[in-house]
Amino acid sequence: MSHFTNVKTKIKCLVTLKKALEALGYSIKENAKHVRGYQGELTEAELVIDTKSSYDIGVVKTADGYSLVGDWDMLQVRAGIEQDEFVNGLNKKYAHFKVLEELNKQGYDVVEESEDQQQVVHIRVRRWT
């Protein structure tokens, strides 16, 4: 019986995903295509995220973009990575980078970024015409 669980995301761009992971302190295992789980179980993934433990998180291509796969119970025990916290943090950082990319495409410069007590990110921009 598999211990792997897929978590849907709205992630569609691997380049931005890699930036978000790096900003959160994670790295991609180069040339790895198998996610490690309970008792040596393996599942395939497009990318494998290094958790500094014997369990991995994988990024899997779906019809709608990408999902995350892992043995979340064991990731929490062995690596201290809780599924909801990881996914929410990654989604937030990914969205932040996507907003910055879109602002840049539209010719805006970021003047100031801040995060309030509720962890809401505020971005002030300007564009010279």
The total domain count for the chain is 1
Q: CA-to-CA distance for 18 and 8, rounded, in angstroms?
A: 17
Q: What is the dihedral of CA 37, 10, 32, 41, to 10 degrees?
A: 20
- Which residues in the chain come in under a pLDDT of 70? 1-2
Residue indicated by tokens 């490690």: 36
Question: For residue 54, what pLDDT is reported?
Answer: 95
- Tell me which amino acid residue 102 is: E
pLDDT, residue 52, reads: 96
CB 59 within 8 A of CB 47: yes
The tokens for 4 are 């792997």
Contact 55, 71 (CB under 8 A): yes
Q: Which domain holds residue 83?
A: 5-126
pLDDT at 10: 93
Pairing outcome for strands 42-44 and 34-36: antiparallel
List Cβ neighbours of 94 (8 Å cut-off, separation of 6 or more): 9, 11, 16, 17, 20
